[in-house]
Amino acid sequence: MSAENDQNGSTVRVVLDAMGGDYGPVETVKGAMRALESGNIEVILVGEKDSVEAELANYDLAGKPVRIVPSEGKIGDDEHPVRAMRSKPDSSILIANKLLKSGEADVLVSMGSTGASMAGAVLALGLLEGLDRPCIGGPFLGLAPRTVLVDMGSNIDCRPGMLLNFAALGMVFSRKFLEIPDPKVGLLSVGAETAKGNKQVQESHQLFADSHLNFVGNVEGMDFFTQKADVIVCDGFVGNILMKYTEGLGSALFPFLERELSSRMAPEDVRSFAASLWQMMNLPRTMGGPLFGVNGAVVLGHGSCKGGEVAGAINTATRYVNLGMVESMREELSKMNRQETPSNPS
């Protein structure tokens, strides 16, 4: 981390949706306490007062900058985000967003419903200028931890201009968060040649080539592992399928590993190997995924995250704030929109 990028000096105020995810508030509180041990942070836990307090009672809070802001109810994965937001205005994710919006917190972390977290953030914070939609991006594979994928699943049908915006956001993440000086951007397709690809890729290709991005052309499925591109761009349909496929594959490898390795390795070695392989396949679970494009710092985590993974997402969030990621993304979009519409003075 270079000194000029990283404003490590000031305390980062993290607001955590303590009710979110499959294991809130037990694991969210555990994750917050773990993150407090190492990071220069304050934590605001948003949730049902009694149950969060009961969890906190398990820890030694002496000198720990943690407090509760009460909320009522929670928006589940199975609810329609916008309808649920209307009927549950005091739910944990909405209160947490309000604290971010009002400036009481620097960054929001949520393991709750992705749809509700995104919709809540867009409604409370608004989008960066030039964007119609936010997107989720970041590295998604431990085997390729410096390759950024955008969009991970938030936008199913994407116009070429949307893909270009997402590419710019992913590029900023790569440059600042992963410290890759001039990130190469590739369009995910079925062949390296310009003509190869579906209609969407073909329509996007020229737009990418004309942009100021360091566009290396089309990349293919294997190029997540070849360093041909630092940022790989696809719509959320393909991104979601790749993410879930990889997760499923990681789990499906377990019985195979047990069968293949149990005769050659001690059981505890098999388990520890399986755990590290699983982590290789599930990077966003251990570090969360930033929500790109909203007017504020938001990091989302998988609903099934346990304490250590919640702490990982909080660490990502802290670094995201310290690096001034949102401001850099705002500047990048503004630069791109100036360049790409020279005749338009706005």
Give contact residues for a copy of itself (rule: CB under 8 A): 141, 143-144, 153, 156-157, 188-190, 197-199, 201, 220-226, 234-238, 240-249, 251-253, 256, 260-261, 264-266, 269, 273, 276-277, 280
How many CB atoms lie under 10 A from the CB of residue 270? 18
What angle do helix axes 199-210 and 160-172 make, rounded to 10 degrees?
50
Q: Which is nearer to a copy of itself, 243 or 325 (CB)?
A: 243
Q: Which is nearer to a copy of itself, 67 or 244 (CB)?
A: 244
Nearer to a copy of itself, 54 or 266 (CB): 266
Smallest distance from a copy of itself to CB 266, Å: 8
Which whole-number Å values give the CA distances from 176 to 20, 231, 325, 334, in the listed order?
29, 13, 7, 17
For 69, the 3-state DSSP assignment is strand
Residue 271 belongs to what H/E stretch? helix 267-281
* Both structure tokens of 254: 């377990």
Strand order in the sheet with 214-219: 66-70, 41-47, 12-17, 107-110, 297-300, 289-292, 135-139, 148-150, 231-233, 184-188, 214-219
Residue with tokens 């190997």: 273
Query: In the chain, count of helices (H) and strands (E)?
Result: 12, 11
In the complex, the smallest distance separating the C-beta of residue 338 from a copy of itself, rounded to whole angstroms, is: 31
Q: Minimum distance from CB of 283 to a copy of itself (Å)?
A: 13
- φ and ψ at residue 123, rounded to 5 degrees: -65, -45
Shorter beta-carbon distance to a copy of itself: residue 189 or 295: 189
Give the shortest CB-218-to-a copy of itself separation in angstroms.
11
- Which is nearer to a copy of itself, 263 or 343 (by Cβ)? 263
Question: Could you give the CA distance from residue 346 to residue 336 in angstroms, rounded to a whole number?
Answer: 12
Smaller CB distance to a copy of itself: residue 243 or 329? 243
Smallest separation, CB 238 to a copy of itself (Å) = 6
The least CB distance from residue 260 to a copy of itself, in Å, is: 6
155 versus 318: smaller Cβ distance to a copy of itself: 155
- Cis omega before residue 151 (within 30°)? yes
Nearer to a copy of itself, 144 or 298 (CB): 144
Nearer to a copy of itself, 302 or 319 (CB): 302
CB of 204 to a copy of itself, least distance (A): 13
3-class DSSP state for residue 162? helix
Longest dimension (CA), the chain: 70
CB of 139 to a copy of itself, least distance (A): 14
Beta carbon of residue 223, minimum distance to a copy of itself (angstroms, whole number): 7
Sign of torsion, CA 240 111 167 172?
Answer: negative
